[in-house]
Amino acid sequence: MKYLTTIGSAKLEFEVTPDTKPIGVKLLEQAVNMDCRQLSPNSFSLLIDGKSYFLTITENGGGFAVTVNQKTVDVFVQDETGILLDKFGMSDSSSDTLGKIIVPIPGLIAKLFVSPGDTIEKDQKLFILEAMKMENEFTSPVSGTLSSIHVKKGDTVNKGTLIMEITI
Amino acid sequence: MKYLTTIGSAKLEFEVTPDTKPIGVKLLEQAVNMDCRQLSPNSFSLLIDGKSYFLTITENGGGFAVTVNQKTVDVFVQDETGILLDKFGMSDSSSDTLGKIIVPIPGLIAKLFVSPGDTIEKDQKLFILEAMKMENEFTSPVSGTLSSIHVKKGDTVNKGTLIMEITI
Amino acid sequence: MIQKILITNRGEIAVRIIRTCREQGIKSVAVFSDVDRTAPHVLKADEAYPIGPAPSAESYLNVSRILEVMQASAADAVHPGYGFLSENAEFAETVIRAGLKWIGPSPDAIRLMGDKMAARNLAASVKAPVVPGTTEPISDIRTALETADEIGFPVLVKAAGGGGGKGMRIVSRAGDLEAAVNRARSEAVKAFSDDRIYIEKYLEEPHHIEIQVFADTQGRVISLGERECSIQRRYQKIIEETPSPFIDDQLRRKLSDTAVEITRACRYTGAGTVEFLVDKYKNYYFLEMNTRLQVEHPVTEMVIGFDLVKEQLNVAEGKPLSFPDKHLHPRGHAVECRIYAENGFNNFAPSIGKILELDFPQGPGVRLDEGVRAGQEITPYYDPLLGKLITWGQDRSEAVERMLRALQEFHVVGIETSIPYCLLIIGHESFRSGNYCTKTLEEIGSTLEEQGTSLSAEAAIAAAVGAIRRDLINTPAPAARTLERPQNSPWSMQGRKDGLR
Amino acid sequence: MIQKILITNRGEIAVRIIRTCREQGIKSVAVFSDVDRTAPHVLKADEAYPIGPAPSAESYLNVSRILEVMQASAADAVHPGYGFLSENAEFAETVIRAGLKWIGPSPDAIRLMGDKMAARNLAASVKAPVVPGTTEPISDIRTALETADEIGFPVLVKAAGGGGGKGMRIVSRAGDLEAAVNRARSEAVKAFSDDRIYIEKYLEEPHHIEIQVFADTQGRVISLGERECSIQRRYQKIIEETPSPFIDDQLRRKLSDTAVEITRACRYTGAGTVEFLVDKYKNYYFLEMNTRLQVEHPVTEMVIGFDLVKEQLNVAEGKPLSFPDKHLHPRGHAVECRIYAENGFNNFAPSIGKILELDFPQGPGVRLDEGVRAGQEITPYYDPLLGKLITWGQDRSEAVERMLRALQEFHVVGIETSIPYCLLIIGHESFRSGNYCTKTLEEIGSTLEEQGTSLSAEAAIAAAVGAIRRDLINTPAPAARTLERPQNSPWSMQGRKDGLR
């Protein structure tokens, strides 16, 4: 079975034989001598042609956050079916979720820099969240128009609260 | 509910109210201020009247092996029903299992000191098991008569193998 | 003799103090807020008592509840650690009045040196150089502007009661001064209920260098050498080392002598730290004195071989310090990385959540002072310091290479930490060469951010193969998988975006 | 310059060597048997290759497979650790012939000192005292009896190729000599295919003291001081320390000088250990030389501050040793406890199984050289050493109290370890006072065994309450419990019996 993996802008295609042990892997028509063992729910040991890698892999939305050499990257995996669906334009678009600004930690909305209707540039300051005695500045991940704000200054918000929405 | 605990020859009776939080415990009519939290499958933190204990508790046959201050003791717990059953002589006797000699590690039977029919004293040498390059001497946990031997010298045995049986 | 110490703190410093107590045969008493019931300091102490809800104001700063624990536990001494009540003169007085030993300097010394203005005046009285600036709090914006013009821009706006970057602003132009003063003031009021603000000269390529001092009740005052603390993010230290690669023996002696004089002048006892700024021309200026054990005290311990908490106990018991009479003979080099729950590549955003897996570095020359355990929930209520990794080496190069090795051995799943960030700083040429100042981190920030997610081709293949393998675990029957794939949740997309940039 | 080292070992020593490699920027290559695929040395090395089934003879001693890995990995040096192939002169020759650097002494030195008789003769040639006894292997039992009578009972029966208690017997009466010689011979044949046996005087209150030596290719030979290794169970060391509380400066100098002379006489290079027996009258006798890095080398590293593996690499590269020219200035005191998978209260029976939970000690003055991780299966195939805990202190008392503190911090679930046993030894008056010899452990054994399961009333209540709480988890509806209680399995009863006695 073919697998397409995406790390940032890099794409790697593998031919995987999952029912052999160790799992057979081919990259660019070259067989890779691969031995992967799960050590704990989130840790794996991987030997590729003798090289030893200790990997931490957690699920991260549609993909996996993989830590190798203390660097974490997001890896998206598509199998044959997924690749086909993509070709026919049938995969789910996620652009509508990119503009949803959600806080990853609880805290206090200390300052709001923008108002509904504002044109927002990528990396523009949006608001300040006070948490752990520090002021945390949140910037926009996208460019677009601010369609709504769901909090006001002084609000205490929980982790995961939707703060504002930007239409791309 | 009453609980009787046995550690070696010591017996402690507790009055426990399991549905309150922290669980109410009374020892010798004295209420104990007790707060017990599970930290991991086998680890617990216990605060008794302010004193902090870190406990490791694993199941050990009918009871629990509890490690506190790096000392491990076996604790047997009987609740009210168990105490009653004991009073009426209805609890299961385990004397028949005491005479079954089982090896806790795999190894090689290097030497047998006894033969079927022998009268066995408690702590008498029974056999030597070679494992991890060391000779491990096994002694009898009980006094009695050796009823059977299930191995011979030179046998390689697995963990848990029944080596011999002693009738008490 | 002290029999039982109440530790009014949490996290790694509480664990650190418990360890010395245990080695000294002294009972330790921990206090804990509701969310800290199963935190390491509670598990490791001999006794532990609840002191209230999660917010510090209702627990670790809740003096009346702590007084109750003092009585209930029959402790005969109090160690405040750092932060929380450690530099609160009133609390120290309360402890002493209750008949317990206070493990720290006298309330008078705490009060005197806790006031930046008073400390500056005291330093000036022993002819210690201070950074040019206001000696009185700013009353109005016009005087502020005049002073700033006099000492020259850029200037630093600072809160009198401040520290750790709180209530601090750099101002480059006169036009920005008023806003900066107002913001610093509002932060200062919030953080330490003290609205006094002053202005000082901002220095060129400044180094943050501090001297560890110790004084006993016999009148002996000693310098234990310097710590280089110039690697800072958000005005907070993240990497420290000793000796400083920047200063020479002559400057070292001058800083030590000045620190000892200041310590003597304020009739100090116990452990203290005198902080200096040193500019690129090796001019040095007294900054402030921290009247407590410092977070980064372990680097000093590693090279001098003495347990500073043990010495604090000696002083509290009225015993002389056990340092040798003449020279201290520090040995080798020590580096410390603070392990914070934060993402160094995302504006140091704090990271909270449950620690699912946790393995610490081990082996030769490695010390870890930890305040967390596997299974613990990291909450947003307290300082995000998870622990400190300290490495020692025969020389600076050995200590630095060992730090790289040790950081690589960490394994933390469930929260983000400063480990990847520290690795890149330590590995960066500026740090390796020892040629850095307090501005370095800002300058190399974007380079580090780029390196943060760039993998070698080999490592990328490993990551990809690992992800495929992990994917196979999720979906043993690959064909069924795509249909079952869950909708991307908005929050996980947020994580995704962070990871990719 | 060495670029890549193949480590022909496993467990803590392989991890130890990998750590120095990483700090030196050298790639490390691990080898593993089938059961060791996920062992720490495989996870931590840069590369790892399978070398065969679990039994050592088919994997870690499988020279032809190891030669293949040498080629496949393109390693340019081999570090054998201790045990396995470390003192195998033929293997060392093979490595050198293959064009790789051998990190160890020359094959000739290994061969010479590996033969107890030859080593004894060499020692005698430099006038080092040796224990009175046979200098030729025993040919017949009559000569053996004559020799024994001559030197006086008790005598020690030893195997020429032996070590670590294997093939060793104390004989108190002439009548037991023949049986002892036969048994030692059969063990020796099995363990090292060498049936040569000799007899020597058994000493009064003997101390096992060894000198760490180091020699470079420039001809420099240096003593790095002694290690006191008298705490032994089953003739195997379990606790070591330096300096020895037993010897004085004069004896220390004599032992060092003798060790250096022996090292020079056998044209040694690299790290070696010269072992002595010292009796209660401070008479000392050369015992043997170990031609490799010793398990307990970390206590020396802790007080001298040098990385001995790094120095081994220096010597292998033909560089001079980096120890200072004159004095070494050792600092403080270091103690090591070997953490074995064994039950100290049950005849040191090895313990195998899966490590379910694992937390290591941390904090000031603590070093852990570990060879296991949580989740790992401990198999019966190899030495049961899980790791080594080393503590350092300003003086012996600090190091000892720190060891007690650190041992208490261990948390291991799933297997039995020597931790409880070490705690009791270290806490025992004989050890605390420093007044112990190789017989002490035997003498205090029963006392320790009694202490092993005796709890204070308070701790017993805690254990009981914990067990009740655990019981409630098993049976949320208490009434139903008794009926569901499983039959006691015979094996769990066995465990129960062990725990209670």
List of chain B residues whose C-beta atoms are within 8 Å of the C-beta of residue D381 = 132
Residue of C nearest to B54 (CA): C43
* Residue C488 pLDDT: 31
Tokens read off for D223: 């003593």
One fold for both A2-87 and A100-167?
no
The Cα D158–Cα D134 span in angstroms is: 10
Q: Does position A6 have pLDDT exceeding 80, yes or no?
A: yes
Most confident of B123-132, C42-51, D347-356: C42-51
Tokens read off for B150: 């299930």
pLDDT tens per residue, range D444-463: 988 998 888 788 888 988 99
Q: Does position B21 have pLDDT exceeding 60, yes or no?
A: no
> Do A75 and A7 meet the contact criterion of CB atoms below 8 Å apart?
yes
Vertex B106, ends B105 and B108: CA angle to 5°?
125
Closest of D295, D147, D280 to residue D158, by C-alpha? D147
pLDDT band at C360 (very low <50, low <70, confident <90, very high): very high
In three-state secondary structure terms, C297 is: helix
Strand partners, B164: B101, B149
The mean pLDDT value of chain D amounts to 90
Q: Which CATH number among 3.30.700.30, 3.30.70.260, 3.40.50.2300, 3.90.930.60 corresponds to the domain B2-87?
A: 3.30.700.30
Least confident of B29-43, C393-407, D229-243: B29-43
Q: Does position B127 have pLDDT exceeding 70, yes or no?
A: yes
pLDDT band at C162 (very low <50, low <70, confident <90, very high): low
The mean pLDDT value of chain C amounts to 90
C488 at interface of D, judged by CB pairs closer than 8 A: no
Check C349 against A10: CB less than 8 A apart: no
Q: Does position C164 have pLDDT exceeding 90, yes or no?
A: no
Check D47 against A35: CB less than 8 A apart: no
Torsion (CA) D263, D269, D272, D277 in degrees, nearest 10: -10
pLDDT, mean of residues C63-79: 97
Q: Does position C206 have pLDDT exceeding 80, yes or no?
A: yes
pLDDT band at D354 (very low <50, low <70, confident <90, very high): very high
The answer for A 97-156 residues in CB contact with C (under 8 A) is 97-98, 100, 102, 104-107, 131-134, 136-137, 141
pLDDT tens per residue, range C86-95: 999 999 999 9
pLDDT tens per residue, range A54-72: 999 998 877 899 999 999 9
Q: Does position D219 have pLDDT exceeding 90, yes or no?
A: yes
Q: Where in chain D are all domains bearing CATH 3.40.50.20?
A: 4-103
* Residue C217 pLDDT: 97
| CA distances for C239 relative to C364, C400, D50, angstroms | 20, 11, 40
Sheet holding B134-139, edge to edge: B134-139, B125-131, B107-112, B156-157
Question: How far is C-alpha D35 from the geometric centre of its chain's CA atoms?
Answer: 22
CA distance A124 to chain C (A): 14
Q: Do chains A and D touch (3 or more CB pairs under 8 A)?
A: yes
Q: Does position A30 have pLDDT exceeding 90, yes or no?
A: no
Vertex B108, ends B105 and B113: CA angle to 5°?
100
The Cα C373–Cα C42 span in angstroms is: 12
Q: Does position B95 have pLDDT exceeding 80, yes or no?
A: no
* Residue D501 pLDDT: 27
List of chain A residues whose C-beta atoms are within 8 Å of the C-beta of residue D30 = 52
Tokens read off for D390: 């080393």
pLDDT, mean of residues B144-166: 87
Q: Does position B135 have pLDDT exceeding 80, yes or no?
A: no
Torsion region of D74: left, alpha or beta (phi above 0 gives left; psi -120 to 50 gives alpha): left
Count of CB atoms within 10 A of residue C266's CB? 25
pLDDT, mean of residues C122-140: 88
More confident residue, D201 or C424: C424
Q: For chain A, what are the domain ranges? A: 2-87, 100-167
pLDDT tens per residue, range D305-316: 999 999 999 999
| Chains in contact with C, counting 3 or more C-beta pairs less than 8 Å apart as contact | A, B, D
Tokens read off for C86: 């450690």
pLDDT tens per residue, range D195-214: 888 888 888 899 999 999 99
In sequence order, the 6+-apart residues with CB closer than 8 A to the CB of C241 are: C227, C228, C299, C333, C334, C335, C336, C396, C399
In sequence order, the 6+-apart residues with CB closer than 8 A to the CB of C128 are: C258, C261, C262, C286
Q: Does position B15 have pLDDT exceeding 50, yes or no?
A: yes
Least confident of C128-132, C181-185, D111-115: C181-185
D27-33 and D47-52: which strand pairing? parallel
pLDDT tens per residue, range C261-314: 999 999 999 999 999 999 999 999 999 999 999 999 999 999 999 999 999 999
Residues of chain C that touch chain B, judged by Cβ-Cβ distance less than 8 Å: 29-30, 37-38, 42-49, 72-73, 373-375
Of A69, A80, A82, the CB nearest to C459: A69
Domain C4-103 has CATH 3.40.50.20: yes
CA distance D19 to chain A (A): 15
Q: Which CATH class is domain C132-201?
A: alpha beta
pLDDT, mean of residues C418-437: 96
pLDDT, mean of residues D335-363: 93
Q: Does position D476 have pLDDT exceeding 60, yes or no?
A: no
Residue of B nearest to C70 (CA): B50
The CA radius of gyration of chain B, in Å to the nearest whole number, is 21
Torsions phi, psi for B10 (to 5 deg): -90, 135
pLDDT, mean of residues B157-165: 82
Q: Where in chain D are all domains bearing CATH 3.30.470.20?
A: 207-454
Of C44, C362, C404, the CB nearest to D360: C362
In three-state secondary structure terms, C181 is: helix
For C131-148, give the secondary structure using H, E and C.
Answer: CCECCCCCCCHHHHHHHH
The Cα D186–Cα D445 span in angstroms is: 28
Q: Does position D294 have pLDDT exceeding 90, yes or no?
A: yes
The CA radius of gyration of chain C, in Å to the nearest whole number, is 24
* Residue A94 pLDDT: 46
List of chain C residues whose C-beta atoms are within 8 Å of the C-beta of residue D365 = 307, 367
More confident residue, D155 or A33: D155
CA distance C248 to chain D (A): 23
Q: Do chains B and A touch (3 or more CB pairs under 8 A)?
A: no
CA distance D454 to chain B (A): 8
Torsion region of C98: left, alpha or beta (phi above 0 gives left; psi -120 to 50 gives alpha): alpha
Of A18, A61, A159, the CB nearest to C472: A18
Q: What's the CATH code, domain C207-454? A: 3.30.470.20
DSSP state of D428: S
Q: Which fold has domain B100-167?
A: OB fold (Dihydrolipoamide Acetyltransferase, E2P) (2.40.50)
Least confident of C157-166, C246-255, D360-369: C157-166
pLDDT, mean of residues C341-370: 93
Q: Does position D481 have pLDDT exceeding 80, yes or no?
A: no
